[in-house]
Every structure is written in C-alpha cells, then in structure tokens.
A and B are shown apart, each in its own frame.
Chain A
Amino acid sequence: MFFRLVKGALFRQKGKMLMVAFTIALGASLATAMLNVMLDVGDKVNRELKTYGANINVIPKEASLLGELYDVDDDSGLTEHYLNESELGSLKTIFWAFNIVDFTPYLNARINVNSRSGGETGVNLVGAWFDKHMDLPTGESLDTGMRNMKNWWDVEGSWISDDDADSAMVGGILAERMGLGVGDTISVSIAGRLQDLNVRGIFNSGSDEDERVYVPLALAQSLIGKQGSVSSIEVSALTTPDNELSRRAAQNPNSLSVKEWETWYCTAYVSAICYQIDEVLTGSVAKPIRQVAESEGAILEKTQLLMLLITVLSLIGSALGISNLVTAGVMERSREIGLLKALGADNAPVSFLVLAEILITGVIGGVAGYFAGLGFAQIIGHSVFGSAIAIKPMVIPIVAILVFIVTVAGSLPSIRLMLSLRPAEVLHGR
C-alpha cells in the first residue's frame, strides 16, 4: 500500500516532481562542480605559477655565488667545482619526483667574441638544455629545458635545439652593443680555441641574461673541455606553501623529532624537495629561490581561500534554492494529505510517505546533478587551464549528505505544518 501510494504520487505528479528533481539536480551539479574545482585549483594554479620559472637552484657544494656577482675573478674560472651531468636523470627518482616539472642544467664559461671591427670582447657564455628529450631509468620519458622554463623570453628568430653544433642565442643588450642580427655569424675564442657560431635567435628577457650568449650544453662542454659537467641546475617544482615546521626544517633538518621529520620529508615543502635533491646529486647544494617560492605560497593560499568562500556561497545558494522548492512542493500536497488523514491515516505514515517521495526525487536529482556537475567542472578546467580537473571521490559523500540534509530540512517544516492542519478545513480548500 505504502509503495503504491509513493509510486502513485511520483507518477501522478510527474511534472511537479520533475521540477523538484531538476532543481535538486541543478543544486547538486553546482555543488559538485564547485567542490571539484576548489579541490583541484591549488594544483592548477601552482602549474600556472611555473611561468615564473625555477624555484630551486642547485649548485656544487663548494662553489659560492660570489663569482656571479663580481667580475673580479672572471678569468680564474667562475667555479672550479662541477656537478655531474649523468646524474641529472635521478632528479626524477626522488620521493617527490612527480612534483618536479622541469629542470635545466647550465654550464658557465667566460669567452672572447671577436667583433667585426676586429677587437675582442669578453662575454659570458652559458651552455644549457633547450628542449632535451630524456629517457629515464624508470621507463618514463621527459622533455625539459629552457624553452619551457623561460617562457617569458621574447625571442626574435628561433630557439636553438640541443643537437645544433654551431648555433647560439644572443641576449638583446649584447646583440645591440655588438651590432648583431639574426643569421649573423660570430667567432668566439676560449683558451686559444676558435669556434664560429651562427646566431639563430636574439632574446629579450629584461634581466642580466640579456648580456649573455646561450649555446647547447654539449657544445659548451666541448668548448671548455669539461665533458659531462654542469655548473648549476635550475629546477621548477610544485611545492606546498611553507609553514612553521618547514621553516624549522630548512634551518636544520636534524632539529626535528622522528615523527616531524617524516611529516616534513613526505610533504612537498620546497625545503624537503631541496633536501631530497641533495641526496641524489653528489656534492650538490639545492637552495630555494625565495622570490619565487615564497610568492607562490602566498598566491596559492589566497586563491584557495577565495575559491573556498565562493564554493560556500554557491552551496548556501543551492541549498536555499532546493529547500525553497521542496517546501513549496510539499505544501501543495495539503489536500491529498488532508484526504489521507480524513480516511484515518496516522501522522507517522503520512510523514514517511511525503519524506519517501521527496527522498526518491532527491536521489534521482542528486545523481543526475553529480554527473552534470562533473561536466561543468571539466568545462571550467579545459577552458581556463587547458587540462582536465581531477575528479575527487570525496566529493560524492559531501554532495550526497548535502542533498539529503537540504531536502529533509526543506520538507520537515512544511510536513509539520500540514500535520497540524485539520482535514476538514484543508479539504474545504481554505
């Protein structure tokens, strides 16, 4: 009898119930979409922030930054200590390997460029990876290099590739000073060796890189006779914003208790990633570039908080929308309920009847809404970030509980109101 009544109510009032289900679906899809986007926004924005370039700089342990700063000891060799190029692949084997987005090794050298007027000018030459394809021992492959990491470079001409044996990219300020254009040839000399380089691109970066010459790493290595050596590595990694624990660890990892140390090591703090890089590259010191690392944290936190508040707002909005309509829907049934009561039905079964109907509608609407919401989330992901939003299973229980609470809360006041009505009055139509 109960089921017949429920079935009857659902099918007789098809239009009405469809509308309630539709509203619930809308609310549920809104909640699903917003929750999914919110949970994934940190990761997505983090990837966008990679346009700021590397956030970790790896240098040999004994080298100091002093060489970079003064031109004082240029000729005595910038750094006599080098890192091993063959170990670079192991950057992708650390605990947080997945978070390492890009990296590029550099080899610095001081060279003389013979300008057309015959004079020699000393300039900094940098060997680097541009678009290196690597096959990792783990079986994965990776494309990395400056093209990805320096995407703010304004390049006239073209980027050079790693296989070019005689191509170079010249910084804008240097090119202007020496009167160089794309397609020109410069002849460089280092330690008595001569080499002609073809200027394939002139770039403008708005920093001191504009006064350097960039060549493929292999070429730089053979020029200065340091096969397999690199002087520094820039690493771009996805990191978690710093907190008190990570600051303490950055000062001295040994000051942590075993449990704290584990938490720190297994969280993608920039200091933890640096520590893990130190472990795999012999004789290296990895340092966070604070300008990038700190700012990333600040922006990430703000974005996540912003999305959280917008999500809460839309959840409240959809909850009110659903409960409004549910209330209206239940109130309309007063005549039918009056009739049931007049026929001798108790309060309890009548309430169950109404609740069962509304919950069945809620389940149908909620399921439909969940999938529609996944669609909305993907639309947002693809049009804003150009990649899919990760679907988090934890959204399902949240949305289910939300829909349940909202529909029940929306129908309870009206059920109470109806039960307090007298059948005769309701049936009379007042």
Chain B
Amino acid sequence: MFVALLAVAVGATILSGLVTIYYDIPRQMGQEFRSYGANFILTAANGAEGVSEDAFLSSTALIPSEKIVGIAPYRYETVKINEQPFMAAGVDLEGARKASPYWFVSGEWPDAAGSVLIGQEVADMIHLLPGSRFTMTGTGLDGESFSHDFNVSGIVQTGGAEEAFIFMSLNDFSGAIGERADYDVVECSISASEQELEAIGAVISENVADVTPRLVKRVTQSEGIVLTKLQALVFLVTAVVLALTMICVATTMMAVVTERRREIGLKKALGASDRGIVMEFLGEGLALGCLGGILGVFLGFGFAQLIGVNVFNRSISFQPLIVPFTLIASIVATGAACLIPVRSATDVDPAIVLRGE
C-alpha cells in the first residue's frame, strides 16, 4: 500500500508543481523581458510643447503601481563641450537605471550632484575616462550663456543612440541649463502584456490632456510572441509529463490491486457480492488518491517555489484552484486504475483465483 501511496503522491506532486509553473510563467518571465527596456512611452500631444509635470504625475498615477518596473522622464537640450555640440539629457537616474537595465556602465552610476554619465561616443570624441572632469558650455533656457564643470562617473555602452548622450540628474540639468517644467519624453517599463498596455494607454489619453501614450511595438509585440511560445512549450511538456506519470500511477495501482486477487477470491468464496468488493476497492483507491493528492499539493507547491527561487529569484504565487484540480485528477486516476483489475478479478471463478493461477 505504501508503494501505491508513494506513486500517487509523486504523480500529484508533478501535476501540481508543473501546473503552478505553467500559470506563473507569464508573470515570472514577464519580469525577465523587462530587461529589453521601455515598452511604453509618453510624448507630448500634437501642438503641446512637452509633457508637463502635472500631466506626467497624473499619467503615471493611472498605471497600476505593482506593474511598474521603472519610469524615466527625459529632458533634452543641446550643449557644447570644447565647442563641439552634444546632446545633454536630464533624467531621473534611478528610474533610468530600472527602466533600461541593459545599459552597460563602466565606472559608477552618478550618486552625487555634479556627476554625470556619458555615452561611449562622447567619451571617444573628447577622450574622457571615468573620474575625469570636463566643462560644459552652451546657451541656457533663459538665453544667457553658461559654463559648468562636471565629473564623469561612468561611461554608457548600449550599441544604440544613447552612446552619444550625456546623462545627468534632473537637478543638475536645471542647475546648469535652466528650469523647465516639462519633459520631452517619458519612458516607462511596465510588466504587462500588449493588451494591458493598450488599455492603460487608452485610459491615459482619455483622462490626461496633452499626452500621447505610445507602445514600443518592437518590444511589446515580440514579447507577446516569445511568451506565447514559452507558455506553449511548458504546457506541452506539462501535458506529456502528466499523461506519462498518470499512466505510471495507474500501472502501479493495477499491480498493487492485482496482487490482491487471492483476497478477492477468498471474499467471493465467503459470499461477498461483486458490487461490494468493487465498492470496497474503489473506496480504498479513492482514499489513497485523496491522501496522495494532498501530499502532492504541498510537495508540488514546494517544488514550484524551489524553481521560482532558483530560476527567477522570485517566489511563486499560490493558485488555490490547483488544490481541487490536483485532488480530483489523482482521485480519478487511482480510482480508474483500481477498477480495471478489480473487475477482472471479480469476473473470475473464486476457486481458480484461490488455487493461484
């Protein structure tokens, strides 16, 4: 009996573990896909100068906070270093770091006022290294020319357009170039599917004037495609593993019941009805399935948690629906597996069974 219980428990563990993972994959992998950076941007609506502070705050308030990975508002101005033109970007550096995790920074992210990140292109052109100082000049927003010294804290490599920018905190930007009340673009990295993002975009454009939300198609659509494939993969794997383990459980149960043919024969010889015997074995099977199922639910969740922590460094959310599902599946599998050998045993003449043939 212990053998059968073990088999059922293992089957149920695999079942509940894999189904939990299957359901949690979009959430877990979705987080990984955020390393592609912003998938949602806010720009000024037609006619407006930029995204105003108010519009920025009210738009971001409309994004469910638990789905936000990073939000980085940008302001751009042209500045000069050694009389060569460059583009300076004022940005919430903490937000940019979260929204664009693929930035490869040699050196450090700036943490003090007066420190900036510069792109690889800029560094190559004016021969700067992390730690070196440079003077930035230009015409400020108030029309006066300015000159400020900055410290290079790190060099950004992305392989894309960012390599030609100078990134500084919004405070440094206002300090050097001048106060501005609006942003040119707001990059958001949101852990959500394309449909959810479209819904968020619709809500924002309805409630906030002067803002045009746009989806970064390359990121959202490709994420959709790859996630669907991954989920399909785990689904098929789960289905195959499940079918095979259920058959394994069934064969083990059959072996266990077949072993008790003599007992069935004896009961029949003593006058038990076929129905009674079938019910008795069925009851035993169901109890076994139930017990194994309960064990499996706990072990399976533990296993899914193990995968979540090891693979994704995040805990798995518990799906209450999996409990009845696992129980029913294991009970049905054990019940069905009991019935077949019991039926064939009750069909046989007790005398023959008892003689051991």
Listed in ascending order, the chain A residues whose CB lies under 8 Å from chain B are 19, 22-23, 26-27, 29-30, 33-34, 37, 41, 45, 48-49, 51-53, 56-57, 64-66, 68-70, 72, 152-154, 204-207, 287-295, 298-299, 302-303, 305-307, 309-310, 313-314, 316-318, 320-322, 324-325, 327-329, 331-332, 335, 376, 379-380, 383-385
Q: Map CB proximity to A onto B82-123 as digits: 1 under 8 Å, 0 otherwise.
A: 000101000000000000111110000000000000000100
Q: Tell whether, in the assembled complex, residue B14 and residue A41 are in contact, meaning their CB atoms are under 8 Å apart.
A: no
A45–B356 CA distance with the chains assembled, in angstroms: 56
B240 at the interface (CB under 8 A from A): yes
Q: Tell whether, in the assembled complex, residue B229 and residue A385 are in contact, meaning their CB atoms are under 8 Å apart.
A: yes
Q: Tell whether, in the assembled complex, residue B232 and residue A65 are in contact, meaning their CB atoms are under 8 Å apart.
A: no
Q: Which of A68, A154, A313, A385 has the most CB of B within 10 A?
A: A313
Q: Which of B13, B17, B32, B306 contacts A302 (CB 8 A)?
A: B32
Q: Tell whether, in the assembled complex, residue B259 and residue A328 are in contact, meaning their CB atoms are under 8 Å apart.
A: yes
Q: Which of A53, A70, A317, A320 has the most CB of B within 10 A?
A: A317
Q: Tell whether, in the assembled complex, residue B233 and residue A384 are in contact, meaning their CB atoms are under 8 Å apart.
A: yes
Q: Tell whether, in the assembled complex, residue B164 and residue A69 are in contact, meaning their CB atoms are under 8 Å apart.
A: yes
A65–B255 CA distance with the chains assembled, in angstroms: 72
B303 at the interface (CB under 8 A from A): yes
**Which B residues are CB-close (under 8 A) to A293?**
159
Given known contacts A298-B32, A318-B248, A321-B252, A379 and B6 CB-to-CB distance under 8 angstroms: no
A379–B232 CA distance with the chains assembled, in angstroms: 12
A350–B139 CA distance with the chains assembled, in angstroms: 97
**Which B residues are CB-close (under 8 A) to A68?**
161, 164
A327–B6 CA distance with the chains assembled, in angstroms: 12
**Which B residues are CB-close (under 8 A) to A34?**
237, 241
Nearest neighbor of B28 in chain A, beta-carbon distance: A302
In the complex, the 4 A-B pairs of residues with the closest C-beta atoms, listed nearest first:
A206-B217, A321-B248, A289-B159, A152-B221
B193 at the interface (CB under 8 A from A): no
A305–B307 CA distance with the chains assembled, in angstroms: 9
Q: Tell whether, in the assembled complex, residue A289 and residue B160 are in contact, meaning their CB atoms are under 8 Å apart.
A: yes
**Which A residues are CB-close (under 8 A) to B121?**
64-66
B315 at the interface (CB under 8 A from A): no
CB contact list, B4-59 vs A, under 8 A:
6-7, 10-11, 13-14, 17-18, 21, 29, 32-33, 35-37
Q: Which of B102, B121, B247 has the most CB of A within 10 A?
A: B102
Q: Tell whether, in the assembled complex, residue B164 and residue A328 are in contact, meaning their CB atoms are under 8 Å apart.
A: no
A307–B18 CA distance with the chains assembled, in angstroms: 11
Q: Tell whether, in the assembled complex, residue A291 and residue B3 are in contact, meaning their CB atoms are under 8 Å apart.
A: no
Q: Tell whether, in the assembled complex, residue B226 and residue A306 are in contact, meaning their CB atoms are under 8 Å apart.
A: no
A376–B243 CA distance with the chains assembled, in angstroms: 12
**Which B residues are CB-close (under 8 A) to A26?**
244, 247-248, 251
A-B contact list, 8 entries, CB within 8 Å: A19-B255, A27-B244, A41-B233, A291-B36, A291-B37, A294-B35, A306-B234, A318-B248
Given known contacts A152-B217, A290-B102, A290-B104, A23 and B229 CB-to-CB distance under 8 angstroms: no
Q: Which of A290, A302, A321 contacts B245 (CB 8 A)?
A: A321
Q: Tell whether, in the assembled complex, residue A380 and residue B14 are in contact, meaning their CB atoms are under 8 Å apart.
A: no
Q: Tell whether, in the assembled complex, residue A69 and residue B248 are in contact, meaning their CB atoms are under 8 Å apart.
A: no
Q: Size band of the B side of the interface? A: 35 or more
**Which B residues are CB-close (under 8 A) to A70?**
78, 85, 87
Q: Tell whether, in the assembled complex, residue B102 and residue A383 are in contact, meaning their CB atoms are under 8 Å apart.
A: no
Q: Tell whether, in the assembled complex, residue B159 and residue A288 are in contact, meaning their CB atoms are under 8 Å apart.
A: yes
Nearest neighbor of B125 in chain A, beta-carbon distance: A64
Q: Which of B32, B103, B225, B232 contacts A290 (CB 8 A)?
A: B103
Nearest neighbor of B100 in chain A, beta-carbon distance: A291
CB contact list, B217-235 vs A, under 8 A:
217-222, 225-226, 229-230, 232-234
A299–B229 CA distance with the chains assembled, in angstroms: 13
Given known contacts A152-B218, A320-B7, A30 and B241 CB-to-CB distance under 8 angstroms: yes
B215 at the interface (CB under 8 A from A): yes
Whole-angstrom distance between the Cβ of A378 and the nearest chain B Cβ: 11
B269 at the interface (CB under 8 A from A): no
Q: Tell whether, in the assembled complex, residue B252 and residue A328 are in contact, meaning their CB atoms are under 8 Å apart.
A: yes
A204–B221 CA distance with the chains assembled, in angstroms: 12
Given known contacts A53-B218, A317-B10, A325-B252, A290 and B241 CB-to-CB distance under 8 angstroms: no
**Which A residues are CB-close (under 8 A) to B85?**
70, 72
Q: Map CB proximity to A onto B317-340 as digits: 1 under 8 Å, 0 otherwise.
A: 000000000000000000000000
Nearest neighbor of A320 in chain B, beta-carbon distance: B10
A314–B18 CA distance with the chains assembled, in angstroms: 10
Q: Tell whether, in the assembled complex, residue B248 and residue A376 are in contact, meaning their CB atoms are under 8 Å apart.
A: no
B68 at the interface (CB under 8 A from A): no
A23–B11 CA distance with the chains assembled, in angstroms: 14
Nearest neighbor of A27 in chain B, beta-carbon distance: B248
**Which B residues are CB-close (under 8 A) to A307?**
237
Q: Tell whether, in the assembled complex, residue B14 and residue A299 are in contact, meaning their CB atoms are under 8 Å apart.
A: no
Whole-angstrom distance between the Cβ of B148 and the nearest chain A Cβ: 21
A380–B239 CA distance with the chains assembled, in angstroms: 10
B352 at the interface (CB under 8 A from A): no
Given known contacts A27-B244, A317-B248, A380-B236, A290 and B3 CB-to-CB distance under 8 angstroms: no
Whole-angstrom distance between the Cβ of B72 and the nearest chain A Cβ: 14
Q: Tell whether, in the assembled complex, residue B216 and residue A314 are in contact, meaning their CB atoms are under 8 Å apart.
A: no
Given known contacts A305-B311, A314-B14, A380 and B7 CB-to-CB distance under 8 angstroms: no
Nearest neighbor of B249 in chain A, beta-carbon distance: A321
Q: Tell whether, in the assembled complex, residue A51 and residue B225 are in contact, meaning their CB atoms are under 8 Å apart.
A: yes
Q: Tell whether, in the assembled complex, residue B102 and residue A65 are in contact, meaning their CB atoms are under 8 Å apart.
A: no
Whole-angstrom distance between the Cβ of B187 and the nearest chain A Cβ: 12
A19–B256 CA distance with the chains assembled, in angstroms: 12
A48–B227 CA distance with the chains assembled, in angstroms: 10
**Which A residues are CB-close (under 8 A) to B103?**
290
A215–B136 CA distance with the chains assembled, in angstroms: 40
Q: Tell whether, in the assembled complex, residue A310 and residue B21 are in contact, meaning their CB atoms are under 8 Å apart.
A: yes
A34–B226 CA distance with the chains assembled, in angstroms: 20
Whole-angstrom distance between the Cβ of A180 and the nearest chain B Cβ: 17
Nearest neighbor of B35 in chain A, beta-carbon distance: A295
Q: Tell whether, in the assembled complex, residue A30 and residue B35 are in contact, meaning their CB atoms are under 8 Å apart.
A: no
Q: Tell whether, in the assembled complex, residue A295 and residue B102 are in contact, meaning their CB atoms are under 8 Å apart.
A: yes
**Which A residues are CB-close (under 8 A) to B13?**
317
A291–B222 CA distance with the chains assembled, in angstroms: 13
A321–B14 CA distance with the chains assembled, in angstroms: 12
